Amino acid sequence: MSIFKMINVCFEDNGQKIINNISHYIEQSTVTAFLGKPGSGKSTALKLLAGLITPTSGSITFEDKDIHSMTHKQNEAFRKRASFMFQDSALWANQDIYHNLELPLLLHFPDMSAAERKDRIKKITEIVEFHKPLIIRPASLSIGEQKKISFARALICEPEILFLDEPTESIDEKTEDLFISILKDFISQNKTVIYVSHDNYLINSFLCDKIYFEDGEIKEKILLDDINQIDDYYEGDL
């Protein structure tokens, strides 16, 4: 089943065309990579798909509901099921790490007890191997540590769908291996991942549909369903 359908999507800002007429369907329990040069429109396409920005024209649906005309309640339900990890982490600067991780739980699980929230926060920080005190604020963390917290925040509500924008940018090899193993575990649970990356090590870590962007358009798609020989898959220009 196609959970996401983007049909003839355009996005303009101040008359500037940033995304130009892209169409793509994403099936449930698949991994999709948005690839392409800097400035080609990958992050914008990911934000459009996640409903964070609104297309100028065209339609984007999630389970056949238009993401941009969902009711508040439908939108909250979608947000609970789909998390977004931003390219620049986008942690709340005026909140400590604990509250950065607690806020999604407070929003999406209002009946969860404080003890259970604490337990979830402890578990997720252990999973991403973040060992600093949680009372510090994001500004005190390195970029790589911020990525860990951003990843933890995306995972804390146990979503079905992950949107990841350059999840392994600015992190060391050990942390990258850790992120990849967490993602492999996530994917093995038949969940859906849509990510943007320039990182060939990450891209070659699991099979995925590859969507290549150029100047705000989709230039090429390499879809697993179309591949007869697995060797062809690795010949694609990353």
Ligand X SMILES: Nc1ncnc2c1ncn2[C@@H]1O[C@H](COP(=O)(O)OP(=O)(O)OP(=O)(O)O)[C@@H](O)[C@H]1O
E-assigned strand segments in 14-170: 16-27, 31-36, 57-62, 65-66, 82-85, 161-165
Q: Which is nearer to Mg ion, 130 or 195 (CB)?
A: 195
CB of 167 to Mg ion, least distance (A): 12
What does the binding site for Mg ion look like in residue numbers (CB under 5 A)?
43
Choose among Mg ion, ligand X, none what residue 44 binds, the Cβ cut-off being 5 to 8 Å by kind.
ligand X
* Nearest distance from C-beta of residue 108 to Mg ion, angstroms: 26
Please give the structure tokens belonging to residue 30: 């698949």
Of 184 and 219, CB closest to Mg ion = 219
CB of 160 to ligand X, least distance (A): 24
Choose the contact partner of 113 out of Mg ion, ligand X, none; CB within 5 to 8 A by kind: none
| Residue with smaller CB distance to ligand X, 44 or 83 | 44
Nearby residues of 159 by Cβ (< 8 Å), 6 or more positions away: 80, 81, 82, 83, 191
Q: What separation in angstroms does the CA of 222 have from each of 32, 112, 171?
A: 10, 42, 27
Residue partners of 126: CB distance under 8 A and separation at least 6: none
15 binding partner (options Mg ion, ligand X, none; Cβ < 5 to 8 Å by kind): none
Q: Which residues contact 78 (CB under 8 A, 6 or more apart)?
A: 51, 62, 67, 70
Give the nearest distance from C-beta 65 to ligand X in angstroms.
Answer: 24
Smaller CB distance to ligand X: residue 18 or 97? 18
The Cα 91–Cα 85 span in angstroms is: 10
Q: Which does 13 bind (CB under 5 to 8 A by kind): ligand X, Mg ion, none?
A: ligand X
